[in-house]
Structure 1
Amino acid sequence: MSVATASYTGWADVHRFSNRSGGAALLADSCATLRALNPDYPRMYAVAAMANEGKRRWWQLAVGLEDGRVEQMYRRSLEDLDVPEAAAVQVATALIHAVVGRVSALLVLEARAWDPGIDNLWIHMDSDGGIDWAGVASPILRVLPEDSAAGEPGTVTLPCEQALLVWTAHRCTTSLGAVFRAIADRAPLDARVFWALVGDAILGASTYVPILAGASASAGARRGQLLLDAMVAAGAPVRSRVGVPGRARLRAS
């Protein structure tokens, strides 16, 4: 399948998912909360429902990783940093945040999750070629039985918090594994460094998002640690303590 055909198919899936899911009202409500976390940068944690977006500057993660987007991002970072390893880390950090940093924010705040799988995520680029937003083809949220929205259109109810965390971790790894391979094929990126960055993204969300929201720090930290456990169980070594070039790290332990 050509890139053009895959892109067309992906865009058709956006509307198919939207029609099947019954709309994106609940996703919009959750993302309003996420946008309010940082009014100066409202897109930092929220995602867009792709059925409401145009195609300009958007690309589907499943397609864009192999159509030159990663090379463009890496070359741009290399021009800025002039250190190949640091440029690779910068690209990885941006894509990791799009995949797991954003959904972790919703998970720690509301115990909800959109689908962060590679077949569902879209990426938006700003005018400088950097990632400034992410979107989802299917706006369906996974929620818990005690959620007030459980059973409503646009939701799938999972039986318990552990099930939600395990599902989220496995869906994240479908995207993150592809992201790592795409970058490592084009730039010097060690696998241990990559998964350490994933751990940082989860810790960052679970530490800072509750503070920004005025929510329980202990509840956020607990969910963050449980998500790290679920990622490790899924085969992702996110508790690695390897040094990351040019970055001070939180410890995923």
Structure 2
Amino acid sequence: MHLPSLLLAAGSASVVLSQPLTRLSQRSSKLQFVGINESGPEFGEANIPGTYGTDYTWPDLSTISTFVNKGMNTFRVNFLMERLVPNEMTGSLDAAYLGNLTETVNGITKLGAYAIIVPHNYGRYNGEIITSTEDFAAFWKTVAAEYKDNDKVIFDTNNEFHDESSTLVAQLNQAAITAIRSAGATSQYITIEGNAYTGAWTWTTTQGTDGKTNGETMGSLTDTVEDKLIYQMHQYLDSVRIPLPPLPITRS
């Protein structure tokens, strides 16, 4: 199991960005992954499928190139499940939305950086909590098959599950892991998120609707690929200039 610097980078991102960009290379030497969220494809979620350029947009690759040149190596690309696989999770990919996602992913990875692709759905599909592990697995098998040959892609199972059963969240994560590997994506990292918005402070303190915490349910996840599973935790900090201590990288 791999518990590396991504969860640490997520917590320090706003502070890192408030510091001069010339210092990013110094900090990135201490972190395996350092980068930013790329929002836009998940905008306009109240209007599905929505109109490209009106309801949502895609990241600017020239801006990403600038950040890569300043020392960043990881870009988290948010998208909506309902736009990528419309109507039902077991359905087919939308060609236009997939094309834009792939263009973004290829643009990032050709720069030598990692592209984290993440459904920004909070554990919901069409506004309803995802309860079918089979459907969730089908979704991820379909998506992973598109990127199974790009080892710079990182699969993030879902953004910030919340207000649901922690046992279910663990089951959904396991279904996604298994499906991604069964699609032939065996060289990529997978990052999983917990319940309660996967807040770092909640893992042992906040119970889901089943009365269990992430700490009680998420530890049993398994991956057939060694050292490619990352537990992602979110820690939001104010964007202020404060000195940061060295950030440890924990592996086991």
TM-score by length of 1: 0.36
Greater helix share, structure number: 1
Greater strand share, structure number: 2
TM-score by length of 2: 0.36
